């Protein structure tokens, strides 16, 4: 059995989350599909109440919030025309593990996990995606 976190925090503002994450041995928790599969030596800061799960199209650019679950993103892309960047993202999402994993796993979690065999990360690179950091 993986070791449980020592403490669980669920902040409602980004500032509060950043203050908690500045403490030693404290980790961001998004969907938990990667983090909670191993031992967590310290506390976790659940990002789910921060409202970072927004998906917006602005001037032809897609903005995806860090805690957007992969399944929600795939649904939001479903009404886009074929053969566009949206199609590539949708295809890559379909490769990101089983649907039970995609329901919980988030875009921020995929990026932060940096798994070398992630098709979704490769698609983001191919699309010249930009990352906004706090
Ligand atoms: C059965 C199974 C199949 C999988 N298949 C794939 C696959 O095909 N492709 C793939 O890429 N991955 C796969 N994974 C790995 C994992 O599920 C993904 O990398 C997943 O997207 C992680 O997202 P999460 O939201 O669950 O992150 P979490 O598990 O919550 O966090 C993962 C890491 O990212 C950090 N983190 C999360 N969000 C943020 C943030 N917003 N800012 C800073 N740090 C953050 C956490 O601190 C932690 O270190 C699989 C996992 C399982 C269990």
pLDDT string in tens for the chain (134-residue length): 778 899 999 999 999 999 999 999 999 999 999 988 888 999 999 999 999 999 998 888 899 999 999 999 999 998 887 778 889 999 999 999 999 999 999 999 999 999 999 999 999 999 999 999 99
Task: Flag whether the pTM goes above 0.85.
Answer: yes
- Domains in the chain, start-ordered, CATH in brackets? 7-50 (3.30.43.10), 55-126 (no CATH)
Closest CA to 43 of 64, 28, 61, 65: 28
- H or E stretch including 107? helix 107-113
Pairing of strands 55-58, 61-64: antiparallel
Ligand 1 pocket test, candidate residues 39, 99, 105, most atoms within 8 A of CB: 105
Q: Is 48 in the pocket of ligand 1 (CB under 6 A)?
A: no
Q: Which atom of ligand 1 is nearest to the CA of 120?
A: 11
């Amino acid at each position: 059995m993986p070791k449980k976190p020592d403490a669980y925090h669920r902040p409602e503002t980004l500032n509060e989350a950043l203050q908690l994450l500045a403490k030693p041995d404290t980790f961001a928790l998004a969907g938990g599909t990667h983090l909670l599969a191993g031992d967590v030596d310290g506390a976790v800061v659940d990002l789910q109440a921060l409202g970072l799960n927004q998906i917006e199209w602005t001037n032809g650019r897609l903005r995806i919030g860090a805690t957007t679950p992969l399944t929600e993103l795939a649904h939001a892309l479903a009404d886009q025309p074929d053969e566009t960047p949206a199609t590539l993202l949708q295809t890559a999402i379909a490769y990101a593990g089983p649907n039970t994993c995609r329901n919980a796993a988030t875009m921020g979690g995929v990026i932060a996990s940096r798994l070398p065999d992630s098709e979704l990360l490769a698609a983001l690179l191919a699309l010249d995606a930009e990352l906004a950091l706090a």
